[in-house]
Amino acid sequence: MSIVTNGNTVSVHYRGTLEDGTEFDSSHNRGETLTFQVGSGQMIEGFDTSVVGMKVGEIKNIAIDANKAYGEHNSEAIQEVSKEVFPPDFEFVVGATVQGQGPNGQPVVAKILSEQDETATLDFNHPLAGHKLNFEIEMVEISEA
């Protein structure tokens, strides 16, 4: 029976929860496995390294600290942005997520924290930044490199 090593392509089912038990993601809800190449950087570090050594049919429960997941919450990622960068008819809703392009054309996602007369305060941190993440991972398939 083969075990997962770096370079293998694997398919897993998983359920991700926060420390309070809130589910933030699940492959079961989508009805399809997640497939990725182990060690390629496609996954957060803690998830990627945790599947190494698993066998098909094995279920593993792991906890990943924020620094091995989406990083710590960075206060410098909270910024005031001119409302002029938004379309004229844009409706600002505190708590809503907005998408746009950064200075170099890269896609950015942010959460609206507040709205002022001429600016909006946006949080550009990943929504799971600063959180310890728990995963239940079930190894479904292993393909050799």
pLDDT tens, residue by residue, 24-81: 999 999 999 999 999 999 999 999 999 999 999 999 999 999 999 999 999 999 999 9
pTM for this model (two decimals): 0.81
Residues 36, 86 within the same domain: no
- C-beta atoms surrounding 4 within 10 Å: 21
Residues 24, 47 within the same domain: yes
Residues 20, 57 within the same domain: yes
CB burial of residue 87 (10 Å; 0-12, 13-18, 19+): exposed
pLDDT band of 145, cuts 50, 70, 90: low
The percentage of the chain sitting over the pLDDT mark of 70, rounded to a whole number, equals: 99
Looking at the DSSP assignment, which residues form a beta bridge with residue 23? 17
3-state secondary structure of 62: strand
Residue at 60: amino acid letter? K
Residues 103, 135 within the same domain: no
Q: Is residue 3 part of a domain?
A: no
Confirm if 27 and 35 have CB atoms less than 8 A apart: no
Structurally, how many domains does the chain consist of? 2
